[in-house]
Structure 1
Amino acid sequence: MVVIKKDIVYDETNDLKTDIYFPNNTTSQTKILIFWHGGGWFHGSKDDVKDLGVRLANAGFMTLIPDYRLAPKYTFPAAHNDSKNFVEWLLNSQYTDHDDLQNIVQIGASVGGTLALYIAGSYGFPTVTWSAPVDFSKWMQNHQDTKPSTDAAKDFGLTDPTLIKESFYKYFTQTYAGNDSNLSKMDATSYNYDKLSHLFMINSAKELNPLKSVLNYVDFLASENHEVQLLVIKGTGHAMAYAKDYVDESLDYLYQTIKGAKE
């Protein structure tokens, strides 16, 4: 039986809230999981992933799913700042103890995975990403002729799945960036990784998030002597499209990292 506390305010200034899913056997030693929802930084909500919150809580994690500010009203670095503000709120809240840093893990879907990477480098939380976009500045340079749209098939009559995905990628990137000067700051290679610990990335072979950019990112982390695991799965699914089939594998990875840290 999962107990859900909804709409707990973590940022009064911006009226940002989180939902918390409590496992039936919650104790002071309960593992804590932050789930960052996706949506291209312009849509999506904690309310969209209620079923996943219940599943994660049933697996033994006190699960927190926060909202963050969305574009186009709020552009970079709004969502990034919100993610860090949420973590600081959590660490100083009644829901964590003073030594809970070692009990916190993350999963992020799509751009939620990008936010998880941003947090992982600063706090060291073991992290799993599902289709996290990591490259924006170079991607934009290589797609100057691509027209942005949330529905390129309808708007431009495109039928090629790759071109449709590229149109959407450009739309959400431009919308959140606000202006081109922010693109390089959005790149995952620009984040601080001083405390990066365990990272497991999942990506489909042919999806919205270009595999080549993920491989380049992994190479970057390796050059900085960071450990990262990458699982490439067949097909074209993006993030939540394959999530249900990889929740158990993701949680097993996080369980093992917590167990290893305590041994």
Structure 2
Amino acid sequence: MIQLNDVSVRFGSLVALHPTSLAFQDGEFTVLLGSSGAGKSTLLRCLNLMNQPSSGSITVSELGNLQNRRALQAHRRHTGMIFQQHQLIGRLSALQNVLMGRIGYHTTLRSLLPLSKEEQAIGLHSLDRVGLLHKALSRVDQLSGGQQQRVGIARALTQQPRLILADEPVASLDPATADKVLAMLHQICKEDGISAVVSLHQVDLAKRYADRIIGLAHGEVIFDAAPRELTPMQAEALYAHRPSTVKAMPRPFRPSPFPLHLATAEK
């Protein structure tokens, strides 16, 4: 489980995320929902410290506070990241891109050498799971947008993650392809027991696939509940939110399985 304790993020004078306390449960498929600039990406990128909190703390069960370097390294090793614009190297093959998911398991020097047959097998299996084994040797700049995003998912799977963070993973895809890609990601996470936090704009996709929806606007959490509890009026308010007009709807309290003051492990 990941616990955020009064986490806020500032970029100069801009408050991108107001003080926020949330717990993300193991095995849960969570969707962050809201308009552009709502704070979805900021919150999501705090979960592996791609965005450094300006205040507050983030703790992970069995690892402790992510401000500890070793805890953060271990957390990132098992956290797959999927991006809106894929972040692939176009001149390389699908398999070469996917195998970059193994870099975190090696030192810088070792990563310059060819990967083992076992790790290459992991990469091929990951491509097979997203239906692209036949494209393993194809350059990714010759693939469609949907195929490239599936390569991005396979790269995340090659890390053998416990958590996947997906930042607007279907925003650049047409509606039909977006649904297929998100359905594939959801199915794989459920089959493997992988926790996922996915930021989206699309209310219909959020309600179809999420176990939990966290709605943000202007850097504040204003909705946190199961998809069935999100009414059309609340969805409309989410995108037209003004701090004085929408009452926050907090998620029912769940006790943390470890103390919030969990001590940082020794470096």
Q: How high is the TM-score relative to the length of structure 1?
A: 0.28
Q: Using CA pairs under 8 Å that are at least 6 residues apart, name the structure with larger relative contact order, 1 or 2.
A: 2
Indicate the structure (1 or 2) with the bigger Cα radius of gyration: 2
Q: How high is the TM-score relative to the length of structure 2?
A: 0.28
| Higher relative helix content | 1
| Higher relative strand content | 2
